[in-house]
Structure 1
Amino acid sequence: MNAVPLFQVDAFTSKAFQGNPAAVCLLETPAPDLWMQQVAAEMNLAETAFLTPDPAGLRLRWMTPTTEVDLCGHATIATVQVLRELHATSELPDWIAPHWKQSCIQFQSRSGILTAEATANGIVLDFPATAPTAVTPPDALTAALQIRPEQLLWCGQSRFDLLLRLDSAATIRQLQPDLRLLAELPVRGVIVTALGDAADHDFISRFFAPASGVPEDPVTGSAHCALAPFWQPHFGRNTLFGFQASSRGGHVRMDLQGDRVRLTGQAVTVFRGSLLV
């Protein structure tokens, strides 16, 4: 058997067992898609990240337990956290080491070139902004969310998801959607958001993606690529702070720069080992 390095990291948190957990698999030799999907199902986390060599450098892919996705913020932060720790202990694999340049690294991905930087304040991701545009709410939406129609203030569509502004942070926190109905919507997932209710964040959100095998994601970097351009006009500034109010919870800093969003989050490695294949 070959031993494949495998890690689990809690992203968008400075404390273990909070934030969003992701698995990180370092594959010196690319593996079949079916095998990677089976590994993601075995890990049974919202996403598993697979880092492989690429003719242009390094390629990063993300899989839920049931499908591959185009973009995943928390699993990217998890990957960079692993690489930072391996670099600090001189354990960075030879096929990765040349691409780690002054705490910065680039990945090829299905969403283009992604740049990440490990800083003293956390890991900073440079992701594409996915500003939502207003759409008519689907007929089953309020029933799926189990809210009254007047609690839905705005409905939009981003590149991947529906984005809904609701009437209050309390509504967001208390939401108990019908996941079966949500899974029938023709989108990756549903972002719900409202003005914040504490001094450490501007807005609050939650993210549901049952159609992608993720009933509720603890903290979702890619969702904040839509939330940042959505909330920027309201606050009139490009630096925003979000709190994702899942049971684990997590904080995300966003710096909007044109058509890009810089997401900043901390991470904690929970375990490391080997995948036997």
Structure 2
Amino acid sequence: MQQIDFYMVDAFTDTTFGGNAAAVCPLTEWLPDETLLAMTRQHNQSETAFFITTDSGFELRWFTTQGEINLCGHATLASAHVIFEYLNYPETTIHFETRFVGPLTVTRNGDWLTLDFPASGSEPIEPPQLLLDSLGISEYQEVRLGRTYTVLLANQAQVEAINPDFDLMRQLDQKVCITAPAQTEGYDFVSRFFSPKAALTEDPVTGSTHTMLIPYWAEKLGKTQMLARQVSARGGDIRCQLVGDRVLMSGQATTYLVGKVLLR
């Protein structure tokens, strides 16, 4: 029987049941992909992060119940939280090697962890009618396509009021983000993120989408440092900064569960 440490961490929040939950499993060596996928399906979280220790830092991979993905912000934050809090890591910066996006770092400053990710772009498009129908809207400010469809709405209240038709959205074969200027004092912009084919149709807090939102809002607002709120039911805060072709995303994390996975 093989025993593997297991952590469930709420990322981008300082309270239990807030932010976005991720499962994290440190490994001594890589298990077969089919085993990693089976574990992820058993955990039934939006993502499970797996990492191994290397001479230069850590190798990190992310899985959903559908398979391996190329980037996940909240599970990276959760992994860093585990390394800092439970693995007696002595440094303030963690270096991750990833298969799809190259090196990533996470730096600790007090209770806040800062992800350093590559920025991603987007281009304005004429939206497919199916996208608008799935969101139940006829009016919008702008629609862009990058890592996902991104729909700019007029205000935060509209973002919060959207009730997607996920049966329609699944036909898009694309994930969807909606965003607007913040109306809550102290925040710059808000968003929600829908992944209709995933285990959780609405992701509570989505770091990977902010790699696209941060450059967009930085240009739109004329500022490089911002505070974002993902206004899902759980909700979460992200301190955002654009630095050249990189984005810095800072958040907090809290442990919900510590246990053992027993593989027979």
TM-score (norm 2): 0.95
Counterparts in 2 of 1:234 and 1:175: CA distance versus 1, 3 Å: same
Q: Deviations over 1:134-193 (max 9, x none)?
A: 11211211111111x22x2111112x2111101221111111101122122232x11100
1:117 matched to 2:107? The reply is yes
User: Structure 1-normalised TM-score?
Assistant: 0.91
What secondary structure sits across from 1:140 in the alignment?
Answer: helix
Query: Which residue of 1 is the match for residue 19 of structure 2?
Result: 19
Alignment partner of 1:153 out of 134, 141, 144 = 141
Post-superposition offset of 1:68: 1.6
Matched ranges for 1:186-201 at <5 A: 186-187=173-174, 189-201=175-187
Report the AA paired with residue 159 of structure 2: I
2:179 maps to a residue whose letter is T
- Does the C-alpha gap of structure 1 residues 33 and 270 become closer, same or farther in structure 2, counting only changes over 3 Å? same
Structure 1 residue 127 and structure 2 residue 113: aligned? no
Displacement over 6 Å in runs of 4+? none
Change (3 A) 1:211 1:101: same
Deviation at 1:56, TM superposition (A): 6.0
Q: Which residue of 1 aligns with 2:172?
A: 185
- Report how many residues are paired: 262
CA distance in 1, matches of 2:110, 2:54: 29
Select which of 63, 87, 95 maps to 1:106.
Answer: 95
* 1:1-277 matched pairs, under 5 angstroms: 1-53=1-53, 57-87=57-87, 90=88, 100=89, 102-109=91-98, 110-147=100-137, 149-150=138-139, 152-158=140-146, 160-187=147-174, 189-277=175-263
Task: Say which SS state the counterpart of residue 40 (structure 2) adopts.
Answer: helix
More off after superposition, 51-60 vs 2-11: 51-60
Which residue identity is paired with 1:201? Y
CA contact under 8 A between 1:64 and 1:214: conserved in structure 2? no
Distance in 1 between residues matched to 2:183 and 2:225, nearest whole Å? 18
Q: CA deviation at 1:121?
A: 4.4
Unaligned 5+ runs, structure 2: none
Whole-Å separation in 2 of the counterparts to 1:69 and 1:40? 12
Structure 2: how far apart are the matches of 1:173 and 1:20?
Answer: 17
Looking at structure 2, the residues matched to 256 and 121 of structure 1 have their Cα atoms a distance apart, in angstroms, of 21
Structure 1 unaligned regions, length at least 5: 91-99
Cα distance between partner residues in 2 of 1:236 and 1:167: 18
Confirm or deny: 8 A CA contact 1:218 1:246 kept in the other structure.
yes
RMSD: 1.4
Change (3 A) 1:101 1:136: farther
- Between 221-230 and 46-55, the greater mean CA deviation after superposition: 46-55
Deviations 1:169-220 (A, max 9, x none): 1111111101122122232x11100110111311110000113443000000
In structure 2, what residue type is equivalent to 1:235? Answer: L
For residues 198 and 171 of structure 1, the distance between their equivalents in structure 2, rounded to whole angstroms, comes to 13
- Identity of matched residues, %: 37
Amino acid at match of 2:97: Q
> 1: CA distance between counterparts of 2:161 and 2:135?
11
